[in-house]
Structure 1
Amino acid sequence: MTHEEHVVLVNAEGEAIGTAPKSAVHGADTPLHLAFSCYVFDGKGRVLLTRRASHKRTWPGVWTNSCCGHPLPGEPTAEAVTRRLSYELGLDATGFELVLPGFSYRAVMGDGTVEHELCPVYRAVVDTDARPNPDEVGATRWMPWDEFTHGVMSGLLAISPWCGEQVPLLIALGPDPAAWAAADPSGLPPAARSPWQGAPA
């Protein structure tokens, strides 16, 4: 028997308040829930971009950062990053670091569907190429970081709304992603520091 995946719902203070089925949580009144974003780099300082699969519920076919996902109820956020990098991209990135612990956003699609996430951001470095899962990823490409950030900031590169909001914050960390200082985990929202242990709603 397959169990439906749930996401962790959070309040304005970032505290877990329950769970909801992932399949039902995205609509016109999407509640704030816990997620993460990850930017994957190679040894040349290039960032891995992914195009969301065309059947995705939110922003199908749109280019975005390397990987996004939702921690499962009771799952530490770092474990969720490892799980989704493996599932979406076939990458074993055991060495990754938190860089933007408190990022959150709300975005609305043209059809009124809302994405509303408390979304810590991580950086990972890999030495192998991705093996994208077509259920999640339509295409991938490596791009030099400065070329990517210039494209986003100039509006020449169409990108997901959360990635568009994250890029200026990442630029502020410094021009070389390899030199970004890891963020203090104490800056994570409470729901990401202490995984939800309640039963699914």
Structure 2
Amino acid sequence: KENGKVVDLCAGNGAVGLFLTNKTKASIVAVEIQPKLAEMAERSVKLNSLEKQLTVLNLDLNDSLTHLKKDSFDTVTCNPPYFSDLPTSKKNPNPYLALARHEITVTLAQTIEMSSALLKTKGKAYFVHRPDRLWEIFECMQKNRLAPKKIQLVYPKAGREANMVLVEAIKDGRKGGLRFMSPITVYQANDEYTPEMREILYGTAE
């Protein structure tokens, strides 16, 4: 909504929240557990003079309801850790990257549960995740009153398998009506962004 409330979970260095300030006048809260990343996000907010619109909370996602009101947000965005934390999982030796990529501090189920808890009825949730976990995403959504409505696959290059999926869901939405949007391809053969991707990132295909 143009004048609503947005919360960005697993915010990292705040990139999603910063991009959203160009698309809405809504109040935005970014939640990030890692102090170093939250501090980076805070610096970006100050450098761009966005203190009145964008707030950063250095907070465990699971503790969100201690600082944020239940059922109070119009929109949730989330780019969570993609990989399960299994004994056999090969993790990045960099602890910051390991936390960002693996479900060490928060699981997919917890992420979706908190997203639903924060959303108003008919509020929308937007997730970025891995295609191979789409079935699990749907299962978790069903348990938490979220109805998936739009799916968009993201391909690194033409002829490659999709490596990301974008999902839009509505809290307490009607079942059915799932739509598959046109896919996004990120890079051309020469490793430069496709015109579509440049349009998304920079507002121009040139």
TM class by shorter chain equals: under 0.3
- TM-score, normalised to structure 2's length? 0.28
Between Structure 1 and Structure 2, the one with more helix by share is: 2
Q: What is the TM-score normalised by the length of structure 1?
A: 0.28
Higher-Rg structure is 2
With a CA cutoff of 8 Å and minimum separation of 6, indicate the structure with the bigger relative contact order.
1
